[in-house]
Amino acid sequence: MLKNRKFILLFALLLSLGLVLAACGGSDEKSSGNSEGEGSSEGSSEEGSSDYTVGMVTDEGGVDDKSFNQSAWEGLQAWGEEHDLSKAHGFDYAQSEDESDYLPNMTRLVRNDYDLVFGIGFLLEDAIAEIAEQNPDNDFAIVDTVVEAPNVASITFAEHEGSFLTGVAAAMKTNTDKLGFIGGVDSALINKFESGFVAGAKSVNPDIVIDIQYVGNFSSAADGKLIATRMYNDGADVIYHSAGAAGNGVFAQAKDLKQKDPEREIYVIGVDRDQYEEGAIGDHNVTLTSMVKRVDTSVIEVSNQGLNGEFPGGEVLVFGLEDEGIGIAETNEEAYTEEIATAVNEWKEKIINGDVTVPQTHDELKAFEEEL
């Protein structure tokens, strides 16, 4: 009887010792992994590849709008490639056809365990605010507007500054002294593009005529083409669009006119990304320049901050000329001449140095014009 008790006691002791050793071994391994992830960027990348996932929800323009949404998606793809991830296995997007899709798309990504969800565009402001309140442990980011919440990073840009430079380029390029601006939705954000463009053009020529019209959405290329047709017929020879996918119609009309009359000087100024390729037609290109807004870079930066445990929740991030978050494309060397480039760079320095304050609203634009 005594021998049996001794055997049972010895067996229990050995079993307990084995469990303790196993627990210690597991704890050391996990600790080692966390230490490596926090201690080096290389370790962080490898650990984050499996632990931190990012999704984005487009606005109505769609992921292939050749503009705003596409730039964001390109940034997310680059981030995924950097961390050895693949679509649907670490990063993904949800496409919205209209505003009724915004919240359901975000909800689906959250339910699929995406740690960070981007809302691409100010139209998603209400949806981001609601989903962020419902999911306080998730990270969210909104592009082009501000949502005040501790788990939301608000990404904004100095679009008015870049648009000012496109106005300078347009005013120097025009032969008719008539320009056009086509916006998507008439809103505070797109008014920044409009105000900056008009201010830049009138800084070169106060008497220049600028036709301003809005499509009413960011998706109808047909409506964008119709408005561009009227503007070009009325004598405008350079049109700046800030209309998302609707801006594709502006390019279509300019290329149609160029194809009919190759000698006609007619141009489009692109937006958000370098839209040089959209203007290609045979041996010609109707893209004068583009106001490049580095949505792609901002997506990469915020995603990496989240991956590294430094997500800027509650912060408003501003990307402008000085940090190259905003720029102007020089791809079309034939149309965007050295003379134009020199003038644009001079105005750029004035803006960065504070010598010129670019208007962001209609009221600020009116005051700006009164001082010219």
Judged against a pLDDT cut of 90, whether residue 259 lies above it is answered with yes
Judged against a pLDDT cut of 80, whether residue 3 lies above it is answered with no
Judged against a pLDDT cut of 60, whether residue 184 lies above it is answered with yes
Q: What is the mean pLDDT of the chain?
A: 89
The whole-number pLDDT of residue 66 equals: 85
| Domain 52-157+296-319 = CATH 2.102.10.10 | no
The whole-number pLDDT of residue 68 equals: 87
Judged against a pLDDT cut of 80, whether residue 35 lies above it is answered with no
Judged against a pLDDT cut of 70, whether residue 244 lies above it is answered with yes
Rounded Cα distance between 93 and 72, Å, is: 10
- Using N-to-C axis directions, what is the helix angle for 248-260 and 221-233, rounded to 10°? 50
Residues paired with 118 in a beta bridge:
56, 141
Over range 254-278, report the average pLDDT: 97
**Topology of the domain comprising 159-293+337-370:** Rossmann fold (3.40.50)
The whole-number pLDDT of residue 45 equals: 38
The whole-number pLDDT of residue 80 equals: 96
Backbone φ and ψ for 241, nearest 5 degrees, come out as: -110, 145
Locate CATH 3.40.50.2300 in the chain.
52-157+296-319, 159-293+337-370
Q: What is the pTM of this model?
A: 0.81
| Among 256, 255, 258, 189, CA closest to 218 | 189
Q: What is the pLDDT of residues 214-243, one digit of tens each?
A: 999 999 999 999 999 999 999 999 999 999
**CA geometry: angle 149, 151, 152, nearest 5 deg:** 65
